[in-house]
Amino acid sequence: NAGVTQTPKFQVLKTGQSMTLQCAQDMNHNSMYWYRQDPGMGLRLIYYSASEGTTDKGEVPNGYNVSRLNKREFSLRLESAAPSQTSVYFCAISAGANTGELFFGEGSRLTVL
């Protein structure tokens, strides 16, 4: 997963705390995505950025905000964490020509107590 770097890898928060998950890519791809993966639920899209300067909501955007800082970086912010946001978060990228061919980062495991 050298092309997509996520930080932090693990995080424990208390309810109501805020935090930002960082994602950076070195593959010069246009499109970036944030997914969450929960047992029995599969991968669900939170937010995406089709290109630098644009962001859009996915299937489960509530409780999250994003920033596409530049072409390389796409961050996901939890303003007031809730236990329901306990999950594994994946950043993914695609060249944009075919949005189904995604390259994933290693993931960030978040626990909200």
Partner 1 sequence: QKEVEQNSGPLSVPEGAIASLNCTYSDRGSQSFFWYRQYSGKSPELIMSIYSNGDKEDGRFTAQLNKASQYVSLLIRDSQPSDSATYLCAVNESGGGADGLTFGKGTHLIIQP
Among 9, 99, 111, 113, contact with partner 1 (rule: CB under 8 A): 99
Site for partner 1 contains 104 (CB under 8 A): yes
CB 51 within 8 A of CB 96: yes
Q: Which stretch binds partner 1 (CB under 8 A): 18-26, 45-53, 62-70, 78-86?
A: 45-53
CB 42 within 8 A of CB 59: no
List the beta strands (DSSP E) in 1-113. 4-7, 10-13, 19-25, 31-38, 42-49, 56-57, 64-68, 74-78, 87-94, 103-104, 108-112
Nearest to 34 by CA among 90, 88, 85, 73: 90
Q: Which stretch binds partner 1 (CB under 8 A): 14-22, 47-55, 63-71, 73-81?
A: 47-55
Among 34, 48, 64, 74, contact with partner 1 (rule: CB under 8 A): 48
Mark residues 60-89: x for contact with partner 1 by CB under 8 A, - for none: ------------------------------
> What are the residues binding partner 1 (CB under 8 A)?
1, 31, 33, 40-45, 48-50, 56, 58-59, 90, 94, 96, 98-107
